[in-house]
Amino acid sequence: MSDSQGKLTQFWNELKRRKVVRVIAVYAAAAFVILELVSIIAEPLKLPDWTLAFIIVLLCVGFIIAVILSWIYDITPEGIEKTSPVQEIKEVVPEKPSKLFVWKIATVISLIVILGLVIWNIVKSSERSRDIQTLEKSIAVLPFENWSYADEFSHLGNAISNEIITELYKIREFRVLGYTSTLQYKESNKTISVIGQELGVNYIIEGIVERQENKVNIHVQVDPGRK
């Protein structure tokens, strides 16, 4: 029994070391946002009945691929590298409990805030526009600003924004700008309306990652783009 528990503990530690747990958390948050978005706008946009099921299948396939890739590869400052087996590592420094706590809190907060604000703004905009057929469904996700001055939180913000962009790409009815198109506006002083005009989008999602002592606050806002 103890041997079995030891193997499970070892496997769980290996999942965390390879950042698989972190990938699952970020992917789940972004996927949940996408599903809620589709369910909200399906009726007013007259999407086919099979749209939601199709999105679920895509998310499941993407989830499997994301888990496999996160197990095999790791993203480092030097680029994408193959994760070394635990036997090849001389010394493994475990993550501090406070760091694990921060990641859990950040994931939960990002899920709640992003979900609420995106749905609220989409529904509000849909109510203002009765002629939904003339509404161009264009969205841009700006790079999340890091106010904590810690690289780990910058990576968290980038991971969430990138995952949202990736999943929105799979919805044919949306025109989603790529991450490279919005990267130029990182730490930009331009207003949202100016950015919306330059990018030619109707919706802009922006966010801020901020650390306060033992917790992380993620502020997310969805603004109308070009007017």
pLDDT digits (tens, 9 = 90+) for 129-185: 544 443 467 888 888 777 666 666 667 777 777 877 887 777 777 788 887 788 787
Give 82-140 pLDDT, tens digit per residue.
Answer: 555 555 544 444 544 444 444 555 555 555 555 555 555 555 555 555 444 434 678 88
pLDDT band at 189 (very low <50, low <70, confident <90, very high): confident
pLDDT value, residue 201: 85
**Residues with Cβ < 8 Å from 222, sequence gap 6 or more?**
117, 118, 120, 121, 122, 203, 204, 205
Query: Higher model confidence: residue 63 or residue 3?
Result: 63
Angle at which helix 151-169 crosses helix 97-128, to 10 degrees, equals 40
pLDDT value, residue 158: 75
pLDDT value, residue 123: 56
166 CB-side CA count, 13 A: 17
pLDDT value, residue 130: 45
Q: What angle do CA 102, 105, 108 make, to 5 degrees?
A: 145
Burial class (CB in 10 A: 0-12, 13-18, 19+), 161: buried
Domain encompassing residue 101:
2-224
pLDDT value, residue 121: 55
Give 20-54 pLDDT, tens digit per residue.
Answer: 777 787 788 778 877 777 777 777 667 777 878 88
pLDDT value, residue 74: 62
Domain count, the chain: 1
pLDDT band at 221 (very low <50, low <70, confident <90, very high): confident
Calpha distance 178→183 (Å, rounded): 9
User: How far is C-alpha 54 from the geometric centre of its chain's CA atoms?
Assistant: 20
